[in-house]
Structure 1
Amino acid sequence: MNVVLGQVVISKAGRDVGKVFIVTEIIDANYVYISDGDLRRVENPKKKKIKHLVITEDVIETIVQKISSDIRITNADIRKAIADIQNSSQSDE
């Protein structure tokens, strides 16, 4: 499965296992930069192998629009998007 900018992913390996992140940059076919806006901020994203991520179907369109138009994304944008995704998944249950 291909990863796109702004996609919500979950770590399945490493010390951050189970945490939710958003893809902020695609490095190559094997690696991406991910951020959660809290411990892994936009200024210092985590480089992660794609095979160590659970790729969800959720893509945050506001993040994609900001990245594609070279508008700076903030840590608050990422935290809000992750909170919205988690709240909507809890309400579905």
Structure 2
Amino acid sequence: MGKVVHSKSGRDKGKYFIIIGIIDAEYVYISDGDLRKIEKPKKKKLKHLGFTNLMADEIREAILSDGRISNSKIRKFLQVEDIIEEV
């Protein structure tokens, strides 16, 4: 959890997300804090995700400690990381 990924297929292709839950060896829950909010995350197959080297440590700790995280934190983190990656 907390890993930053991008979608390799589907309508959300090319968008960045954070893994917020692990279902099993094939599926995870992802959220971008905007279209896919933390309250209703997207279930996605791992084979359809591209992994980055980025880890959202603050978000990961919040999920593991009390499970409460805000959509705005996810959005802000992904916006900053998109800018860094584009440079």
Same fold (TM over 0.5): yes
Q: In 2, distance between residues paired with 1:19 and 1:86?
A: 10
Q: What code does the residue aligned with 2:31 have?
A: S
Alpha-carbon offset, residue 70 of structure 1:
1.0
- Tell me how far 1:88 sits from its aligned partner: 1.5
2:47, 2:59 → 1: CA distance?
23
Q: Does 1:34 align with 2:25?
A: no
RMSD of aligned alpha carbons: 0.9
Letter paired with 1:60: A
TM-score, with length taken from structure 2: 0.95
How far apart in 1 are the matches of 2:16 and 2:78? Answer: 7
SS in 2 for 1:9: strand
**Alignment TM-score, normalising by the size of structure 1:** 0.89
SS of aligned partner of 2:61: helix
Instruction: Return the alpha-carbon distance in structure 2 between the equivalents of residues 33 and 39 of structure 1.
Output: 14
Distance, in Å, in 1 between the alignment partners of 2:7 and 2:67 is: 26
Q: Sequence identity, in percent?
A: 53
Cα distance in 1 between the residues matched to 2:51 and 2:23: 16
What amino acid sits opposite 2:57 in the alignment? E
Question: Gaps (5+ residues) in structure 1?
Answer: none
- State the distance in 2 between where 1:39 and 1:56 align: 21
The alignment of Structure 1 onto Structure 2 pairs a total of residues equal to 87
2:18 is the counterpart of 1:22:
yes
Q: Does 1:85 align with 2:81?
A: yes
* Aligned partner letter, 1:69: S
The runs of 4+ residues in structure 1 deviating greater than 2 Å are: none
Which residue number in structure 1 is paired with residue 44 of structure 2?
48
Task: Return the offset for 1:71.
Answer: 4.4
Matches of 1:34 and 1:26, distance apart in 2 = 9
